[in-house]
Amino acid sequence: MVHMTQASATPKATRRQHDREIVALAVPAFGALVAEPLFVLADSAIVGHLGTAQLAGLGIASALLTTAVSVFVFLAYATTAAVARRVGAGDLPAAIRQGMDGIWLALLLGAAVIAVVLPAAPSIVELFGASDTAAPYATTYLRISALGIPAMLVVLASTGVLRGLQDTRTPLYVAIAGFVANGALNAVLVYGADLGIAGSAWGTVIAQCGMAAAYLVVVVRGARKHGASLRPDATGIRASAQAGVPLLVRTLSLRAILMIATAVAARLGDADIAAHQIILSLWSLLAFALDAIAIAGQAIIGRYLGAEDTEGARQACRRMVEWGIAVGVALGVLVVLSRPLFLPLFTGDSTVRDAALPALVIVALSQPICGVVFVLDGVLMGAGDGPYLAWAMVITLAVFAPIALLVPALDGGLTALWAAMTLMMVIRMLTLWLRTRSGRWLVTGATR
């Protein structure tokens, strides 16, 4: 396909070109992102009919597994940026070779996680305060599901490869197939084979391995087509790990912020923590829509910088920010309008609803800010600007933590806590905006 150069295209034509790219990448990415939490929902729906203790055990184990996998999300982010740069530079064999390094790193990390989790599973479950009745089920589920962690990390790295190759459709198809297979296998193994919660865990592991295998078929086919080596390369694996470390720091800092917010909400009372969990679930769902644009940003910006087109990168960044603001405004309006319908789905307690209503207004007002944050986060990830993202998030955590911890002392309530969360997003927006305005992220070439 022949594209108009940035210099020859009119501003309107350039915007249309960016819009087409953003939509083509973001819409399938959103579908794939939404499919992931459906795994847990499907497991919960099936295991819930076994009994309360089994469901409680699943809740503990799945929270641990989700945290373990989310910590390694840098496998997708760093790989996307690195592969996209090489695509922009016109070197597809090197792009796929870079992707293979990320996949080998995922396998190594997955093996290390298994080595830790299998023997330590009972202690980990006990550490998280599982009851005597729920603990055996949590341990069983955790031990079996841990066997699927290497597959899930391969899925993350392979998703990054395909995103870097400007392909978000294949991850969507694989995610949908994985969700369907997971649901079917869970039903058959839990009830048909009468394996109980162990059947649910094995069903999920098999589905995850199937997804990883599907990705590997696609990546290996691309490697053979372009003559890229499939063998592990110590230098490349080390480079992938080094690129991932700053993003790991960023992710851990963000997780710490969310954990502090939940801990503070718990100190406010039962109604407030219940309302907080509802709002946090909604906030996470809204984040998927905004994260889809960020994923498009990672792929597009990496490609432009690899092609040494700084003006194209700037214009793409500007257009994606406009998209982020527009989607944020739309989501904010949707939250305000749907509050009376949304809250009764989760609780019939009027005290919980009263606590949630004003805090939801804060969440709604913050969505345009969140839109800018997610987009600029994706832009800087696409540019491979991980060290700055790490420092910016550590600074944000350092500012947020004392403010959030003051909320109970000042009797601020849940609305004050979510105001602090919004302040956290404002700080993130300022740090990211200052970086993009400086132009220091515009480092061109096949490697940063």
- Low-confidence residues of the chain: pLDDT under 70: 1-9, 36, 347
Write out the E strands in 247-290: none
State the amino acid at position 290 in one-letter form.
Answer: L
Q: Output the pLDDT for position 106.
A: 96
Nearest to 79 by CA among 188, 142, 153, 181: 153
Tokens of 73: 């999300």
The pLDDT score that the predictor gives to residue 280 is 84
Query: Quick one: angle between helices 135-146 and 197-226, nearest 10?
Result: 20
Nearest to 316 by CA among 2, 25, 47, 1: 25
The pLDDT assigned to 9 comes to 58
Q: How far is CA 434 from the centre of its chain?
A: 24
C-alpha distances in angstroms, 248 versus 106, 115, 375? 14, 20, 19
User: For residue 139, what pLDDT is reported?
Assistant: 95
| Residue 51 backbone dihedrals phi, psi, to 5 degrees | 150, 165
Q: pTM for this structure?
A: 0.89
Q: What is the predicted pLDDT for the residue at 167? A: 95
Extract the tokens encoding 139.
Answer: 């341990």
Rounded CA gap, 304 and 440, in Å? Answer: 15
